[in-house]
């Protein structure tokens, strides 16, 4: 691949440079939390003020990644700027950005516990308060789709539209997460794996009882609007 020379405003150029740095650094969190192996997985970020996204290149090892490796595509997944082929999941990310304007970041991992639930084609039940806080209910399962088109993106949008969860388990594939920012989407990926592991361990002890919906609603409201520094 070769770099495409494109003229942007100074503001967009600066934002692309900032996001190359940020997206590169966020990939370190995927390895830190054990969410990926070898070159699998990816983080992307929407470029504010432009129909562009920044994403990891395809097949480059995590320990080799630098901001210069990050590539820029348009929201049709066409390479706009960069010296490497974009991630094979770029069309899925681009579809999400086109159809969910509130989303600023998308993450895909093959984290083992969440992917195990995806392999079983089974939603993760909301049975602990931390899950109600972060996901506002169960983590749903999306349809099976092959890599190489926007089919995965369509499944993500169809499943998460009108759903409070920022995570979806794509059937027999793995988790995708969304967020207002790329960092928020990475946090959702970390938390998705954490609750997937917890619910797996709980079920080894016996049946798991989901939280009452009223409790889920109250916990979610408090965590989203009261918890932390404002």
Is residue 42 assigned to a domain? yes
Is residue 152 assigned to a domain? yes
Is residue 133 assigned to a domain? yes
**pTM beyond 0.75, yes or no:** yes
CA pair distance 70, 19, nearest whole angstrom: 9
* pLDDT tens track for 101-135: 999 999 999 999 999 999 999 999 999 999 999 99
- 7 pLDDT tier (thresholds 50, 70, 90): confident
Taking 70 as the threshold, does the pLDDT of residue 2 lie above it? no
pLDDT at position 84 is 97
Q: Which residues are catalytic?
A: 108, 110, 133, 173, 227
Contact 30, 62 (CB under 8 A): yes
Is residue 2 assigned to a domain? no
CATH assignment at residue 63:
3.40.225.10
CA pair distance 147, 144, nearest whole angstrom: 10
Is residue 35 assigned to a domain? yes
The total number of structural domains in the chain stands at 1
**Mean of the pLDDT values across residues 206-220?**
98
Is residue 108 assigned to a domain? yes
Which residue in 185, 143, 151, 194 sits closest to 165, CA to CA?
185
Taking 80 as the threshold, does the pLDDT of residue 230 lie above it? no
**Beta-bridge mates of residue 105:** 45, 179
Task: Identify the domain containing residue 136 by its residue range.
Answer: 10-225
Contact 24, 67 (CB under 8 A): yes
């Amino acid at each position: 691949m070769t770099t495409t020379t494109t003229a942007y405003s100074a503001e967009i150029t600066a934002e692309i440079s900032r996001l190359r740095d940020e997206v590169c650094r966020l990939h370190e969190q995927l390895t830190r939390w054990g969410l990926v192996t070898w070159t699998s997985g990816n983080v992307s970020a929407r470029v504010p003020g432009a129909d562009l996204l920044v994403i990891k290149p395809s097949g480059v090892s995590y320990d080799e990644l630098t901001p210069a490796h990050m590539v820029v595509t348009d929201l049709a997944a066409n390479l706009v700027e960069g010296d490497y082929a974009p991630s094979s999941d770029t069309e899925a990310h681009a579809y999400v950005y086109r159809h969910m304007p509130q989303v600023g970041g998308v993450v895909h991992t093959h984290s083992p516990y969440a992917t195990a639930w995806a392999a079983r084609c089974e939603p993760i039940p909301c049975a602990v308060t931390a899950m109600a806080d972060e996901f506002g209910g169960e983590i749903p399962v999306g349809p099976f789709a092959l890599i190489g088109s926007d089919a995965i993106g369509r499944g993500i949008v169809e499943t998460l539209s009108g759903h409070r969860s920022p995570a979806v388990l794509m059937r027999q594939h793995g988790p995708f997460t969304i967020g207002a920012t790329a960092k928020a989407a990475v946090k959702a990926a970390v938390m998705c794996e954490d609750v997937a592991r917890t619910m797996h361990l709980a079920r080894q002890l016996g049946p798991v009882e989901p939280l009452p919906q009223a409790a889920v609603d109250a916990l979610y409201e408090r965590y989203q609007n009261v918890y932390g520094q404002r």
